[in-house]
Amino acid sequence: MKQIFVGADLFDGERIIKDHALVIEDGFIKALVPFSERPHDSEIIDLAGGILSPGFIDIQVNGGGGTLLNENPTPEGIGAIADAHRRFGTTALLPTVITDHQKIIDDALQATRIAREKRWDIFGIHVEGPFIDVAKKGAHPANHVRPLTDADIHHLAEARSGVLLLTVATNKVTPDQITALTRAGIHVSLGHSNATDREAKAAIDAGARAVTHLFNAMSQCEGRAPGLVGAALADPRVICGLIADGHHVAPTAILAALAAKGAKGIALISDAMPSAAGGPDHFTLQGRVVRRQNKKLTLDDGTLAGADITMLDAVQYMLSLGVPLADTLKMATQTPARLIGLEDKIGALRPGYPADIVHLGPDHRLLGVFYGGKRLD
């Protein structure tokens, strides 16, 4: 079946295109054509304004809709998280498991393999820890933090199904280990680390190409001690994940990072917990209660414990800071796709890409989500 979407601007992953129609056939994008050249032998869907964007891509989502991957590391748990976030425009994601018992991590890896066989919105998994620095553990349980071994590298390579994004502490994993991970097809992200800028640069030179939730749980940038933040901002090879929720990073710091990296160097992430995407006001994280207050999630000691946002919230927050629409949408689509090496498959409105699309109104409210060309109720 062929559909022609008209009446809205198009963000193709790089720029905003006006006076064009989007042609979809059998769930995939067939063409972008000038409005005057649109086919007339198909179903016309007049969107009456707004903008069509590729569906959002979330590379760090711990939970949503009341489900937490660490507590439910099953294909059903992954499906529940993905379904909850899809209603808010996220059409591709990496379910994320944090530092825990090795069995929990292994179950999440196996669940991802099964989930990928059943649905096309799961492209792999983000394993955040346990190879991190206790000094910058954040809400991760210290008793499960441990060094990376050669056996771990082999195990992760064998267990990988699709994309495997692995967060490690720059000062706790050697450059040789990072090289071994990348040669095994694993994407290495630096985070939860008290590394110096020299240690960070050595990790980047060894193959790390991402930083996990920039500014959070890492050594900060000071004049004579640039830390992991400084190394990440200075190196164009690195894409930085960023939680744009008004709690994790101050607006000035967000704008400074964007000035340094540009939209091609910042990937918006939700770092979502079960409370996001319609979930409850409190939940349990590894036996500890996390509470939501004013869309801020904390443990009883005040430690931030993930975020209470969807990718739509992150997009709307960036726009509230005055970031241009095209830059904001790129950070939610093409940049995260490029971080995980899938920019030739998702994150753009191009022929052959899946018709997973978000329709935003002139005020940037969500007007509709199309998954495989079908509008979600």
Give 246's DSSP letter: S
State the Cα–Cα distance between residues 185 and 183, nearest whole angstrom: 5
Helices 150-159 and 175-183: crossing angle in degrees, nearest 10, is 20
DSSP state letters, 99-145: S--HHHHHHHHHHHHHHHHH-SSB-EEEEE-SSS-GGG-TTS-GGG-
Closest residue by Cα to residue 358 from 322, 315, 295 = 315
| Contact status, residue 92 vs residue 55, Cβ threshold 8 Å | yes
**Identified catalytic residue from 271, 308, 313, 356:** 271
Give 296's DSSP letter: E
- The neighbouring-strand residues paired with 45 are 5
Q: 286: phi > 0 → left, psi -120 to 50 → alpha, else beta; which?
A: left
- The neighbouring-strand residues paired with 366 are 360
Tokens of 29: 């994008």
CA–chain centroid gap for 195, Å, is 23
Active site residue 106: no
Tokens of 138: 């954040």
The phi, psi pair for 182, rounded to 5°, reads -65, -35
| Contact status, residue 96 vs residue 70, Cβ threshold 8 Å | no
Give 151's DSSP letter: H
- Residue 292, classed as helix, strand or coil, is strand
User: Alpha carbon of 82 to those of 67, 99, 265, 322: distances in Å?
Assistant: 10, 21, 25, 29
Checking DSSP bridges between strand 187-190 and strand 163-168, what pairing results, if any?
parallel
| Contact status, residue 309 vs residue 245, Cβ threshold 8 Å | yes
Closest residue by Cα to residue 346 from 58, 62, 96 = 58
Tokens of 210: 């991402």
Task: Report the first-to-last Cα separation within the chain, whole angstroms.
Answer: 19
Catalytic positions are 271
